[in-house]
Amino acid sequence: MTALSPIPLLRLDPGIPMPARAHHGDAGVDLCTTEDVILEPGERVLVGTGVAVALPVGTVGLIHPRSGLAAKTGLSVVNTPGTVDAGYRGEIKVCLINHDLRTPIELRRGDRIAQLLVQRVELVDFVEVETLDETARGAGGYGSSGGHASLAEAGQAAAKEA
């Protein structure tokens, strides 16, 4: 696989650090907030990052939470992962949520709030059909593969009702 060329990035707020990897070889670059904000428990807020990018067709930007912030404070990204399409040229914004039930989260301008990963994607076409081929899984969806006691109990209860 060939490496991607460097991706054009426009700094919309020169006072905010450039997106950067915390360590050599990290998959994502850290994105920072452009504003001071306090997220009350359960609150959501859309914050700017001060950057826009020109992703090449055939790639996508995925915005993920920073694992340390999620584990220590409950800060996460609402629509994980957030999607930055190749044709989008506006400021990358992140919809954050405070999952902690008791403690507000205070963010300061320049704080690292999320990470951006750029990945190649397959741009497929779809064709409408009358039926789909059969598989062992079939239409089994949420919880169909088991692995948790409460899923087994729910399945047994549903079977009794049927």
- How confident is the model over 49-96, as pLDDT tens digits? 999 999 999 999 999 999 888 889 999 999 999 999 999 999 999 999
Contact 113, 70 (CB under 8 A): no
Answer whether residue 131 is part of any domain. Answer: no
pLDDT at 139: 85
Q: Is 11 annotated to bind ligand?
A: no
Range of the domain at 116: 9-120
Q: Is 85 annotated to bind ligand?
A: yes
Q: Is 98 annotated to bind ligand?
A: no
Q: Alpha-carbon distance 39 to 46, whole Å?
A: 11
Q: Is 44 annotated to bind ligand?
A: no
Answer whether residue 17 is part of any domain. Answer: yes
User: Is a pLDDT exceeding 70 seen at residue 3?
Assistant: yes
Contact 41, 101 (CB under 8 A): yes
Amino acid in the structure at residue 146:
G
Q: Indicate the pLDDT class of residue 154, thresholds 50, 70 and 90.
A: low
Q: Is 34 annotated to bind ligand?
A: no
Does the pTM of the predicted model rise above 0.85?
A: no
Contact 16, 109 (CB under 8 A): yes
Answer whether residue 150 is part of any domain. Answer: no
Q: How many domains does the chain have?
A: 1
pLDDT at 73: 92
Answer whether residue 2 is part of any domain. Answer: no
Q: Hey, which bits of 12-152 come out as E strands?
A: 29-32, 37-39, 44-48, 51-53, 59-65, 75-77, 82-84, 93-98, 105-107, 112-120
Output DSSP code: residue 134. -
Q: What CATH number is associated with residue 108?
A: 2.70.40.10
Q: Is 84 annotated to bind ligand?
A: yes
Pairing of strands 93-98, 75-77: antiparallel
pLDDT at 77: 97
Q: Is 150 annotated to bind ligand?
A: no
Q: Alpha-carbon distance 111 to 39, whole Å?
A: 14
